A and B are shown apart, each in its own frame.
Chain A
Amino acid sequence: MSFQRPTLHARLPVVGAALVLALALQTTVLNAVAIGEVKPDLVLVVAICVGLLAGPGAGAVCGAAAGLLEGYAQGLHLGSLGVSRTVAAFVAGTVETHLMRDKVVVPAATVLMGSLVAHVVYFVLAPELPIARPLRIAVVESLYNMLLTPPVYLALARWGFIYRR
């Protein structure tokens, strides 16, 4: 059984819209569902899911776009955010090629791992942040991201990356 991945540029409008929508949601609605002042990073979830669906290269591009979006919106740590998201989405895409395809468990676990990777890279590149609080935030946010993965992944798979067998 073989399948051909759609190229990223073919789905660029969908991915771009997903990232923008994710950023808009993250800066508005998701504040209301924060757990202990920690809200999920929906933009990162989208980037990692794109990496899972479209492969590591496309994931890296999407991760870079996600990081730049968040960085520009935040006005700080543009490079750290960009690099961390790029690496996380690339790693997620690489891992995905070695795992059984699955619609819930593998994407959720990959997003959990990818989120932790993104945090590690981010904190390595932004060392002025104290480690204790970010560590707790990183863990809670990664778990939260994992919970949000199934709907995001399924939506992207349905409307963004339909595999042709």
Chain B
Amino acid sequence: MYPRVDRQLVLFLAALLVVVLAAVVHRRTRAAGQEGLGASVVAVVVSPLQQGLTGASRRIGGAFGIFREIRTLYAENRRLRGEVDRLRQRVNTLEEQGRENVRLREMLRFREGLPRHGENALAATVIGVKPTNWYNAVTIDRGTADGVRERNMVLTPRGLVGQVRVATPHTATVLLITDLHSGVGGRIQRTGWTGVVKGTASDRLEMVYLPEEAAVRPGDRVVTSGQGSVFQVKGIMIGTVEQVRLDRNTSTRSAVVRPAVDVRRLEEVFVLTE
């Protein structure tokens, strides 16, 4: 009886011998141009399994193909979403340019309608808004180098915006008509009654010092009167009367005026330089 390890070794050597013999026979058979018994047996035994497994794997592959398709669709969806975003951005840009175009045309027409055909009307862009809550003002990109001076009138085609408070070489700070420190000579366009339009630090103005007998009613348009040292141009739209009050102590009337210009959304303005 061989010891256990020897038996293992004998098996190993026997297996190696079989392999070597099989390899020699295989080589000779192939050299003779024949396929050989071993290959035929393996083919006969394995091929039915291969056929079954191949069919099954193709069916399973088809099922996995759906997942691959989903992945492809997902990737395509992501790509298309990106393209939609880019196109949406492009549309936004074009719409913005269109709006700007309309605005500039409107400003051009307005400028032509100004006294002296707007020779002294300088176009400016609002580049900043009020830095604090206590001061209703904007900054424009024109300054003393462009001829802007303090107290110049600032307006848009829709109406009055305010006056230049501080001018630096290349920028200027415009005090808006809504600011508490602002006062404009105003006139009720329909009846000609005049008063002073003051800022209230809100989105409404107040027209004061109207005589008690002044004919004013909601809906009346208020324009600049040309009186006073600041706003000397007549007929610039200020706003529309919303409400009329009577102050019995002073026997005067006052009116709440909605500004013609939404000063919170200013983009381009004109500065009337002198």
Complex Cα distance, B248 from A105, in Å, reads 101
Verify A28–B45 contact, CB threshold 8 A: no
B residues less than 8 Å from A12 (CB atoms): none
Verify A86–B12 contact, CB threshold 8 A: yes
Tell yes or no: A44 within 8 A of B by CB: no
Which chain B residues (119-170) contact chain A, with CB distance < 8 Å? Answer: none
* 0/1 interface trace, chain A 1-42, chain B, CB 8 Å (1 if under): 000000000000000000011011101110010000000000
A residues less than 8 Å from B20 (CB atoms): 79, 82-83
Tell yes or no: B49 within 8 A of A by CB: yes
Min CB distance B111 to A, Å, is: 71
A residues less than 8 Å from B16 (CB atoms): 60, 64, 83, 86-87
Tell yes or no: B15 within 8 A of A by CB: yes
Tell yes or no: B93 within 8 A of A by CB: no
A residues less than 8 Å from B42 (CB atoms): 23, 69, 72-73
B residues less than 8 Å from A72 (CB atoms): 26, 36, 38-39, 41-43
Which chain A residues (38-87) contact chain B, with CB distance < 8 Å? Answer: 55-58, 60-61, 63-64, 67-69, 71-73, 75, 78-79, 82-83, 86-87
Complex Cα distance, B15 from A60, in Å, reads 6
Min CB distance A61 to B, Å, is: 5
Complex Cα distance, B14 from A55, in Å, reads 15
Q: How many residues of B contact A (CB 8 A)?
A: 32
Tell yes or no: A114 within 8 A of B by CB: no
Complex Cα distance, B27 from A24, in Å, reads 24
Q: Of all chain B residues, which has the CB nearest A8?
A: B11
B residues less than 8 Å from A67 (CB atoms): 19
Verify B15–A86 contact, CB threshold 8 A: yes
Complex Cα distance, B22 from A158, in Å, reads 32
B residues less than 8 Å from A29 (CB atoms): 53, 56-57
B residues less than 8 Å from A32 (CB atoms): 57, 61
A residues less than 8 Å from B39 (CB atoms): 72-73, 75
A residues less than 8 Å from B14 (CB atoms): 60-61
Tell yes or no: B18 within 8 A of A by CB: yes
* 0/1 interface trace, chain A 139-163, chain B, CB 8 Å (1 if under): 0000000000000000000000000
Which chain B residues (23-73) contact chain A, with CB distance < 8 Å? Answer: 23-24, 26-27, 36, 38-39, 41-43, 45-46, 49-50, 53-54, 56-57, 61
Complex Cα distance, B44 from A67, in Å, reads 17
Tell yes or no: B8 within 8 A of A by CB: yes
Q: Of all chain A residues, which has the CB nearest B55?
A: A28
Verify A57–B9 contact, CB threshold 8 A: yes
Verify A57–B57 contact, CB threshold 8 A: no
Q: List 22 A-B contacts (CB under 8 A).
A: A23-B42, A27-B50, A28-B54, A29-B53, A29-B56, A29-B57, A57-B9, A58-B11, A60-B8, A68-B22, A69-B42, A71-B26, A78-B26, A78-B27, A79-B23, A79-B26, A82-B19, A82-B20, A82-B22, A87-B16, A90-B12, A90-B15
Residues of A within 8 A of B (CB): 20-21, 23-25, 27-29, 32, 55-58, 60-61, 63-64, 67-69, 71-73, 75, 78-79, 82-83, 86-87, 90, 93-94
